[in-house]
Amino acid sequence: MKTLIYASPVSCGRGDGSSTENAVGGIARALQLARSADGTKEIHLLPGEYVLEKTLTLDERDSKMTWIGNGAVISSRISIHDWHDAGEDIVYADLPSDAHFTQFYVNGERRERTRYPENDIRMTRNTPVKNNGWANDVADDAANPLSNRMMYYTPDDIPTSLYRFEDVEFVILQYWMEARLYPEKWNPENGEILFRTGSWRPLTWSYGYYLENVKEGLGVPGRWYHDRAENRIYYHLLSGESADTLRASYPVLQRLLEVAPSSGQTVSDLHFEGITFSGTDGHSAGDGYYSIQAETGAPVAVRCDNLENSSFRSCSFSHLAAWALWLGNGCKNNAIERCEFCHAGAGAIRIGEIARPETKAAQTDHNHLKNNRIADCGEFYLGSAGIWVGQSGYNTIEHNDISGAFQWAVSLGWNWRLFPLNYSCGNRVIKNYVHDLGTGILGTHGALYVLGVSPETVIAENLVENVHASPYWGAGEGIILDNSCSGITVQNNIVTNAHAGGWGCNFDCFGNIIRNNIFAFVTIYQLARYGDAPDREIPPPNGEIFSQNIVIWDKGSLFKEDDWPSYSTFWDYNLYWCMTEDVKFMNRSLEEWQALGLDVHSLTADPLFADAKNGDFTLPENSPAFAIGFEPFSLSDVGILQADETISQ
């Protein structure tokens, strides 16, 4: 038996929910009716915005339930009325004293906070001024707790008018992440700041900073400033906007929806179709924030635990402060399909946890992410991944389209050492179109990224193109196998037009197979074996198999390094071709390279691609690529499939 319940966004609706004409008022009443019904339930949300005052929490009572959107938006936005003219196209409105938010929307779209400087960053100093300032004894090491809270700067870089402790948030750029901190003490004369909270590393481990929520930045149209002393928001109108017609709002919730069954219970067959989730806030304003990697500490709009055999289909996650959707502890056999993730402050989808699951029930595995479009995220938390998979295995990520300001399009694994072993294993990243990454201030570290021992993990048939770096540190790579990666197969991928290595691995990696890929036209170097050299007297063999790959380029070097700590690795049957000069292997000829036992059967020759510079990697029958055993493959079906096409299982 199936029960249909219709809900209206108008909370005063008095119908019985039996039809669109008799819809009940609001989500809470619809859920109450559904819980009282037997069998399967369908809740149909009529078009409109459903504004939540508290997080909607579902539990084991809500199994066998489907929520259908029909144009419905679930948000937590509160409207701001009564705008006043402050002159020069700036308007202001008074706020409740408890209104502390980091996001502001106009006509449903996120507006950026004011910042200083507007289109640049200020560089941090590495050492304090030696003139008896109160910060002089703070050491540049993590052992001193103040080193993570102390920053030195050139006094002239910050006008004295900006010294408003209660308002200013410092955004400190720490390479692949940022810290967002609020001053506690400020010494303008010596250029010393002590923050209320700290970051994960000393703040000298930074290349720059800027300030947000500064009143002096209101000269830029579309920017806003929250004066916490006055409990007032200021906004610089865009062309065509006016105080009389301004549809403005701010969010009150960090989380819109959570699935949280009782201890020992699960939720199954819970489905969401065609619903838009929009309008959440980030970390609490004034508290500060940092994350060591991938912005895993940022809030999440929709969080699910112990959810099984359920789905999000054709949903939209947009204009959110932080992460969109998280399948956390014990989530198994769920589908996220044909959803759109755009304009999120952090990343789109998180799978699993940071901590390794201790029980089988806590394991998160066998989830399917298919045909999703992920774009223009990482707008507030700058070091985000598009899709992050932590301690979670046997998930499939296929036929997605990912672009924008991400540190990683897909990040798998969460373990920097061999032991304890990752639970991240058996994951499949297949036929995704990853493109135009690194458009934000931090650039991109790497498009497809794996961390830790990950047996049975496969990265195959993905097209990666146009990966940009930050101008302040050299990243922008294609496929990266980072610290302790093992048991991973990287096959039949194309990486083209990245800033740095098409493929790279950490010296601590071993037992990976990288075969039959095309790495093309990377700007500064094509390949890399970098980073954490083993701290042993005799480095162990890496033992990866790098074979039957084609590497073609017209600028930069073949390798990032001038030398390796160990050449005990297995490279052979590859084809290398530089279009502008002779191929060099770290200043060695092919013959000298082969004398080290590497690439004994490899070639340096033009593969004769049809039009490689324009993305046509078709090979003629007389290509030397066939002499190394290269097997042609097509990526014509990467990215989102049409509705009538099937997806591999």
Distance, in Å, from the CA atom of 518 to the CA atom of 20, rounded to the nearest integer, reads: 55
The one-letter amino acid at 142: A
Is this prediction's pTM over 0.85? yes
Phi, psi of 311, rounded to the nearest 5 degrees: -160, 155
Cis (ω within 30 of 0) for the bond into 221? no
pLDDT of residue 10: 83
Average pLDDT, the chain: 92
Checking if the pLDDT of 124 tops 80, the result is yes
Any idea which residue has 């949280």 for tokens?
260
Using pLDDT thresholds of 50, 70 and 90, give the confidence band for residue 134.
very low
Could you tell me if 327 and 367 are in contact, meaning their C-beta atoms sit under 8 angstroms apart? yes
d(CA 125, CA 114): 24
Taking the C-alpha atoms of residue 215 and residue 115, their distance in angstroms, rounded to an integer, is: 8
C-alpha 225/C-alpha 504 separation (Å) is 43
- Cα 281 versus chain centre, distance: 17
Tell whether the model's pLDDT for residue 142 goes beyond 60. Answer: no
**Residue range 274-332, pLDDT digits in tens:** 999 999 999 987 788 999 999 999 999 999 999 999 999 999 999 999 999 999 999 99
Q: Over 90: is that where the pLDDT of 642 sits?
A: no
- pLDDT at position 417 is 81
Q: What HEC string does 406-461 produce? A: CCEEEEECCCCCCCCCCCCCCCEEECCEEEEECCCCCECCEEEEECCEEEEEEEEC
Provide the pLDDT for residue 143: 57
Mapped onto helix, strand or coil, the DSSP state of residue 160 is helix
In angstroms, the CA 56 to CA 79 distance is 20
Q: How far apart are CA 436 and CA 31, in angstroms?
A: 42
pLDDT tens, position by position, 484-529? 899 999 999 999 999 999 999 998 888 999 999 999 999 999 999 8
Instruction: Determine whether 581 is exposed, middle or buried from the number of CB atoms within 10 Å of its CB (0-12, 13-18, 19+).
Output: exposed
Of the pLDDT bands very low, low, confident and very high (cuts 50, 70, 90), residue 394 is: very high
The two tokens of residue 206 are 């930074």
Indicate the range of 275-289, 528-542, 625-639 predicted with least confidence. Answer: 528-542
Residue of 144, 147, 151 whose CA lies nearest to 191:
151
Pick the range with the lowest mean pLDDT from 108-112, 159-163, 280-284, 483-487: 159-163
Q: Which residues contact 616 (CB under 8 A, 6 or more apart)?
A: 609, 610
> Which phi and psi angles does 147 have, rounded to 5°?
-65, -25
- Per-residue model confidence as pLDDT tens digits over 413-441: 998 888 888 899 999 999 999 999 999 99
Highest mean pLDDT among 13-17, 172-176, 233-237: 233-237
Q: Which residue has the higher pLDDT, 290 or 533?
A: 290
pLDDT band at 647 (very low <50, low <70, confident <90, very high): very low
User: Residue 191 has what pLDDT?
Assistant: 87
Q: What angle do CA 599, 532, 383 make, to 5 degrees?
A: 110
pLDDT at 284: 85
> In this structure, are residues 195 and 184 in contact, taking their beta carbons and an 8 Å threshold?
yes
**140 pLDDT more than 50:** no
Residue 1 banded pLDDT, cuts 50, 70, 90: confident
**Does 390 have pLDDT greater than 90?**
yes
Q: What is the pLDDT of residue 638?
A: 97
pLDDT reported for residue 125: 78
Tens-digit pLDDT profile for residues 25-56: 999 999 999 999 999 999 999 999 999 999 99
Region 590-600 average pLDDT: 96
Give the model's pLDDT for residue 141: 47
